[in-house]
């Protein structure tokens, strides 16, 4: 497999003398050394995005849509190659990587369909004195920053709507996982994307160079996915020039099991909500809030399922749980578990770093977790499930809302009305009822509170890359 490992600027693959290793987290071996960007490369990327903005905005929506459609078809045809690359640089098991690649390609298909449906409005003003015309125009060169946990989908979820809207862009993937983004861009090149529309940089050091770009008048929009901590910092940076900002940040998802839940279905949903991507998902169930009536039955059945999860290298047949992306990330998870055990929790399964190399952490279930335990305040980002027992639906909702995050929540109940009442009470941008996964390119993805602002996917996603303009006139 040839791996693109240079920067991509103005339609050219740009090598650089300064390169950094990209590691395979299953054994810490180096996959390839990737080119990094200094101030000259960042400037070139900005100049390319700025230079192409007018011609790209004027390109017919049908043409933009057809490029995306071709990219969807190429990515789908080459899904195995993509999945292997995702697994190699991220560590997730191949089945998770295949799921991610299919999901990622769907953003290109969805936004190929949205490109030709950017609508406006034309009507008489209520006072009859004028006509109101509302149109939507591309916001302009956008800076896209993505995390390591979904290197394919987080890239296409931003690149897709930006292309559909007629925006040029500079994208900065995570330093841990830049190779998938470069492969996605290579597909867009083959699909016929004109030069300058998409540019990929990997600035090292990152903070000062991204800050300089956000203070450059050529950048008009930031779309960021990553931690709340970095998102907050970038929001401050954007404030200086009032750069338009959409932020997809961290989560601390509650999974609420009501007293009438079907335990078999709940365990199946909980396994997906917790273990998809090895728990390294912003949508991962992070706090299991379980009604006392079913707490024992759920805990036993869930820990049995978690104990049966096979851990091993992502590419090995039979692996269901790969390593975390790095030893550093693994150690953060281990520290949270140790803290929970010190505070009185009991591990029904897992709970310790295994012997041997690689950034592995086993599937872990903790019971006896108090409602004020430290672990509940943190995004675990690993395969660890703390269970807290509650005595009423109201207590469950109050505990679910006891966090600064509000991305997604899960509710399990056999009574839809009761589940909907709980769903309405929980402060999160998305709620899954009796399902462990609801992400869909056709639905609005995003959070409340400190999980971010703006939405990706659905009908809303393209509007993160469009300005609304009102033109008033008399006939």
Residues of span 276-305 touching ligand NAD by CB under 6 A: 282
Binding track, positions 161-200, relative to ligand NAD; x by CB under 6 A: -----------x-xx-------------------------
Task: Using the rule CB under 6 A, give the single segment among 127-135, 206-214, 266-274, 331-339 that binds ligand NAD.
Answer: 206-214
Quick check: 79 binds ligand NAD (CB under 6 A)?
no
Q: Which is nearer to ligand NAD, 210 or 309 (CB)?
A: 210
Quick check: 150 binds ligand NAD (CB under 6 A)?
yes
Residue 42 appears among annotated catalytic residues? no
Residue 89 appears among annotated catalytic residues? no
Contact with ligand NAD (CB under 6 A) among 7, 163, 169, 230: 230
Contact with ligand NAD (CB under 6 A) among 250, 351, 386, 461: 250
Contact with ligand NAD (CB under 6 A) among 91, 452, 458, 461: 452
The pair of structure tokens assigned to 315 is 């590419």
What is the nearest approach in angstroms of ligand NAD to the Cβ of residue 389? 26
Quick check: 251 binds ligand NAD (CB under 6 A)?
yes
Question: Of the residues 41, 167, 282, 464, which is catalytic?
Answer: 282
Compute the distance between CA of residue 372 and CA of residue 343 in angstroms, rounded to an integer.
10
- CB atoms near residue 342 (< 10 Å): 9
Positive or negative, the CA dihedral 258, 259, 262, 267 is positive
Task: Using the rule CB under 6 A, give the single segment among 105-113, 188-196, 249-257, 388-396 that binds ligand NAD.
Answer: 249-257
Task: Using the rule CB under 6 A, give the single segment among 219-227, 309-317, 353-361, 395-403 that binds ligand NAD.
Answer: 219-227
Quick check: 254 binds ligand NAD (CB under 6 A)?
no
Q: In the beta sheet, which residues pair with residue 367?
A: 346
Question: Of the residues 41, 106, 114, 248, which is catalytic?
Answer: 248
Quick check: 206 binds ligand NAD (CB under 6 A)?
yes
Q: Which is nearer to ligand NAD, 18 or 415 (CB)?
A: 18
The pair of structure tokens assigned to 201 is 């940089």
Quick check: 202 binds ligand NAD (CB under 6 A)?
no
Q: In the beta sheet, which residues pair with residue 291?
A: 390
Contact (CB, 8 A) for 168 and 196: yes
What is the nearest approach in angstroms of ligand NAD to the Cβ of residue 148? 5
Backbone region of residue 277 per phi and psi (left: phi > 0; alpha: psi in -120 to 50; beta: other values): left
Q: Please count the residues of this chain forming the interface with ligand NAD, following the rule CB under 6 A.
A: 28
Q: Which is nearer to ligand NAD, 350 or 447 (CB)?
A: 447
Quick check: 227 binds ligand NAD (CB under 6 A)?
yes
Q: Which is nearer to ligand NAD, 293 or 427 (CB)?
A: 427
What is the nearest approach in angstroms of ligand NAD to the Cβ of residue 123? 36
Per-residue exposure over 46-83, b if at least 16 CB sit within 10 Å of its own CB, e if not? bebbbbbbeebbebebeebbbbbbbbbbbbbeebeebb
Residues of span 404-423 touching ligand NAD by CB under 6 A: 407
Quick check: 100 binds ligand NAD (CB under 6 A)?
no
Residues of span 366-385 touching ligand NAD by CB under 6 A: 379
Quick check: 103 binds ligand NAD (CB under 6 A)?
no
* Nearest partner of 83 among 55, 61, 113, 103, judged by Cα: 103
Helix H, strand E, coil C: the string for 197-209 is CEEECCECCHHHH
Task: Using the rule CB under 6 A, give the single segment among 98-106, 120-128, 149-157, 158-166 that binds ligand NAD.
Answer: 149-157
The pair of structure tokens assigned to 104 is 């990622």
Quick check: 99 binds ligand NAD (CB under 6 A)?
no
Give catalytic residues, as residue numbers.
248, 282
Q: Which residues bind ligand NAD (CB under 6 A)?
A: 145-150, 154, 172, 174-175, 206-207, 210, 225-227, 230, 233-234, 248-251, 282, 379, 407, 447, 452
């Amino acid at each position: 497999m040839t791996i693109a490992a240079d920067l991509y600027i103005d339609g050219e693959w740009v090598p650089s003398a300064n390169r950094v290793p990209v590691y395979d987290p299953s054994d810490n071996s180096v996959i390839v050394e990737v080119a990094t960007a200094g101030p000259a490369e960042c400037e070139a990327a900005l100049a390319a995005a700025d230079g192409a903005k007018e011609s790209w905005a004027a390109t017919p929506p049908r043409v933009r849509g057809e490029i995306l459609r071709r990219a969807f078809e190429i990515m789908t045809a080459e899904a195995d190659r993509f999945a292997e690359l995702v697994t190699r640089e991220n560590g997730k098991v191949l089945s998770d990587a295949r799921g991610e690649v299919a999901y990622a390609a769907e953003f290109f298909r969805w936004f190929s369909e949205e490109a030709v449906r950017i609508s406006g409005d034309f009507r008489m003003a209520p006072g009859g004195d004028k006509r109101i015309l509302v149109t939507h125009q591309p916001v302009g060169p956008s800076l896209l920053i993505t995390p390591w946990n979904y290197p394919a989908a987080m890239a296409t979820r931003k690149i897709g709507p930006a292309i559909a809207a007629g925006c040029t862009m500079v994208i900065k993937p995570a330093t841990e996982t830049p190779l998938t983004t470069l492969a996605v861009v290579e597909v867009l090149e083959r699909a016929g994307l004109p030069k300058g529309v998409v540019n990929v940089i990997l600035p090292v050091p990152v903070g000062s160079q991204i800050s300089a770009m956000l203070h450059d008048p050529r950048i008009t929009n930031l779309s960021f996915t990553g931690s709340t901590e970095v998102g907050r910092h970038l929001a401050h940076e954007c404030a200086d020039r009032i750069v338009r900002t959409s932020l997809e940040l961290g989560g601390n998802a509650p999974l609420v099991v009501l007293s009438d839940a079907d335990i078999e279905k709940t365990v199946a949903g909980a396994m997906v909500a917790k273990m998809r991507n090895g728990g390294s998902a912003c949508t991962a169930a992070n706090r299991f809030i379980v009604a006392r009536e079913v707490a024992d039955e759920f805990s036993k059945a869930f820990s049995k399922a978690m104990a049966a999860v096979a851990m091993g290298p992502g590419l090995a047949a039979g692996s269901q749980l790969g390593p975390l992306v790095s030893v550093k990330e693994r150690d953060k998870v281990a520290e949270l578990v140790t803290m929970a055990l010190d505070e009185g929790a009991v591990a029904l399964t897992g709970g310790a770093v295994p012997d041997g190399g690689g950034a592995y952490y086993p599937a872990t279930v903790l019971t006896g977790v108090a409602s004020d335990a430290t672990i509940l305040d943190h995004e675990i980002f690993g395969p660890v499930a703390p269970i807290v027992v509650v005595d009423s639906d109201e207590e469950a909702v109050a505990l679910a809302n006891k966090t600064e995050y509000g991305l997604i929540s899960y509710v399990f109940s056999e009574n839809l009305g009761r589940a909907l009442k709980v769903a309405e009470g929980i402060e999160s941008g998305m709620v899954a009822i009796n399902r462990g996964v609801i992400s869909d390119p056709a639905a609005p993805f995003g959070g409340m509170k400190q999980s971010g602002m703006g939405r990706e996917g659905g009908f809303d996603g393209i509007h993160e890359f469009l300005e609304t303009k009102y033109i008033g006139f008399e006939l």
